[in-house]
Structures are given as structure tokens and as C-alpha cells.
Amino acid sequence: MHRPSNTFDIAIEQGFDFLSPDYAKLFENSAATAFQHPLWLDTLYTRLASHAGATPLVVAVRHRPTGTLAMVLPLLRVRRGPIRTVEFADLRVSDYLAPVCSPQVFSELLKDQSACAEIRCLVRPFDLLRMAKLPDGRLPIENLLATPRRVAMDSNAYASVLVAPFEQWRASAMDRSYQKELAKKSRQLQKKGDLSFSCCNDGASVIEALDVMRKLRGPRFQAQGDGDLLQRPEYYGFYSEMALRGLGSFVRLYAMKMDGDVIAAVLGLCHQGSFLVIMSAFDIAGYKSQSLGALMFEQVARDCIERGDRMLDFTIGDEPYKKLFGAQPSPMWAVTQAGSTVGAISLFALKQAPWLKLAAKRMSEFRLLPTRTSTPTR
């Protein structure tokens, strides 16, 4: 038995209110990422958790004298086959995961052995603790949970530093020959009709762009053998609700149109001077030789610079196009810990046979299908 902390009150709050002023204040002063934003987590827990068969596991740490929030760990309990996992609230929509806490308070928590012991006790039982997508240089959650050291993930994150004016950024970030190539492609595209680029500013334009994104992304991702999330009603509902609720503040949805029809779109989040790209779609079939995606991201960068953004964050993934815009890689990390014999065997198997990682990913994606359907789901 461990003694309760004298400084912090710690509890599981399954019905935690991510839209509360207390959480908003904590988030604003924390080292968390855009993917722990109040709107993002509120929508994730209410929209997606039940479809994935996941149970909320929100660890709330409060200062004992005042009752104000000191830290929140937004976690989930998810059963994947026979394995009980505890993981960050992700469900395939979040790119960066982190505790919601300021560096100073996090340091105080690490020094409080009773508080750490309480938190470690509350997240159990589990067969496997999985904390992936940890950004470089963030709070060391492995120290809080007493897990093995973090290991580098297979993929990096990429971000391009923005400087004004746009012409200066383009000259420093992009190769001169590539600038000329895109200028040529832009002229070709403009000759095809009435070309426009804008940031959606009302509900109708948001739904129009998202519907086109769903249409364009379906065949593309199906051909790659990995289904697109937008094709699932619960995920389309998540992204559309996020875009509508966060429009004009937390979310931007860019659209490029030809003769009034959307031919490209980019959805992203705004956080602390950065624009984080989370989803994009392009009519590649209709504009095969126009480098539509590159032209779209060039316009996104221009708009971000004009708004005063300091970073264009392409998030996780080693796609080559990101470097064409001056994006530099930064490592992503993962922490795992076995909590039972079953978990230890699973973890050992994954480390010994890398091909099993893909099988585990497929199982994970399968488990994110609706848990209750009237007919079998393949």
C-alpha cells in the first residue's frame, strides 16, 4: 500500500469535462499539443470512443489546497483481441500525444513519489501499456509511469519554419528549379478555367470541401490497401464536427476550386503559431500533370505566412514531398510496458518479428470498426 500524496489529489474522472474553464486554463499553460486541445479531446471521447469499444481513462491530478487542475492524462482502455491495452486518446486521429501539464508542475509531480505511485496504480490493470507518437523534447511520461526508456518510432514528423514575406520563405525553403517548375504548373492550371483558393469561412463551404475530400480519398487509399477513415461514418462525423466547431479559431479548412468546384482541400489545426496539416485530398485523376498537391501546399504556406504563423507542420510521415517545402525531420518516440504474462509475450513477439507490427496494426484498425453492427462487418 502506498500513502496518498500530501500535495495532489489524484483520481480517475471518466466523465471529465474537457470544455470546462479549468481544463482550458490548464491546456493554455501546458506543454501539450494541438491534439490535446479541449475541442479535439471532447469530440474524440464523445464521437469515437464508443465506436472503438474504448473506455475513457482520464487521470485528473488536482492541487490539494485549491482543487485546480495540475495535470490531465487523457487515456483509454481498449481491448484488442485478448490483450487489454491502456493508451493515449488517439484512435488513429491524433499525431502528437502528451500529458496536459506545465513543465514546472510535471517536475514537481516527478519528485512526489506518492503521487507517482497513485497514478501508476490507477492506470492498472493492463496487459500492455502503449504510449506512441510522443514528440521530441516533450515531458518524459516514462519517468512518471516508471516504464522502460522510450524508443524511436519508424516515422518522423516534419515541419517547415515560416518567415515573412512569402517570397523570402519560398527562396530559402524551396530549390530554385522546383520553384520554376511550380510556377509553370500554376500557369498551366490557371489556363484550364477560373481558379480560386480560399479558407472556408462558413458551415456550407466546410461540408462541401469535406464531402469532396471523402470522395477523392476513398479510391486512393483503397488502392493502397489501407482504408480511409473519412469513409467511415463515425470518423466523418468526428472531422466534420471538429471543423465546424473550431472554424475560425482552432481549425482551418483550405479549398482550391476550378470553375466553382473543389479540386483540392487541406484540413489542419492552429496552435501556438503553427498550422498542423492533418488531412488533404487532391483531384489527381483530373489534373495528372499539374502537381496539384504541391501547388495547394504552396498556397497554404502563403496564407499561413500572411496570418503570422511561424510553422507549417506536416506532422507524422516520411513522404518525400515534405522536404520540397523545407520541412525538417524530428524523431517521434514510443513507450511500451507489459503488465502481465500475456502482455510480455506480445511485446517480446513484436520486438523479435518486425512483420508482426504490421499484423498488430491491422488488428488495431479492425478493432476500431463499430463494435455492434446489425450485419457482419468485413
Stronger pLDDT, 81 or 195, i.e. the higher one: 195
Domain architecture of the chain: domains with CATH: 8-154+332-367 (3.40.630.30), 163-309 (3.40.630.30)
164-208 per-position pLDDT tens digit:
999 999 999 999 999 999 999 999 999 999 999 999 999 999 999
Answer whether the bond into residue 4 is a cis peptide, omega within 30°. no
What are the C-alpha distances in Å from 270 to residues 51, 121, 273, 371, 372? 27, 35, 7, 33, 35
CA angle at 276 for the pair 52 and 178, rounded to the nearest 5°: 125
**Per-residue pLDDT at 2:** 64
**Per-residue pLDDT at 343:** 77
Q: Is the pLDDT of residue 115 over 70?
A: yes
- Where do runs of H (alpha helix) occur along the chain? 21-28, 38-47, 103-111, 113-122, 141-145, 166-173, 176-190, 203-223, 233-246, 292-307, 321-324, 341-352, 355-367
What are the C-alpha distances in Å from 246 to residues 16, 24, 99, 221, 327? 20, 14, 22, 26, 26
Cα 254 from Cα 262, distance rounded (Å):
10
Grid coordinates 504541391 are at which residue? 294
Instruction: Return the DSSP state at 193.
Output: S
**Per-residue pLDDT at 45:** 97
pLDDT-derived band at 368, boundaries 50, 70, 90: very low
Closest CA to 23 of 9, 10, 34, 37: 37
226-266 per-position pLDDT tens digit:
568 999 999 999 999 999 999 999 999 999 999 999 999 99
Closest CA to 325 of 134, 156, 163, 93: 163
Cα 282 from Cα 65, distance rounded (Å):
53
Cα 111 from Cα 201, distance rounded (Å):
47
**Per-residue pLDDT at 1:** 54
Cα 243 from Cα 206, distance rounded (Å):
7
Q: Is the pLDDT of residue 372 over 80?
A: no
Mean pLDDT of 37-56: 95
CB neighbours of 103 closer than 8 A, spacing ≥ 6? 31, 139
Mean pLDDT of 35-51: 96
What are the C-alpha distances in Å from 146 to residues 85, 106, 308? 17, 14, 40
**Per-residue pLDDT at 5:** 80
The secondary structure of the chain in percent helix, strand, coil, rounded to multiples of 5, reads 40, 30, 35
Q: Is the pLDDT of residue 219 over 60?
A: yes
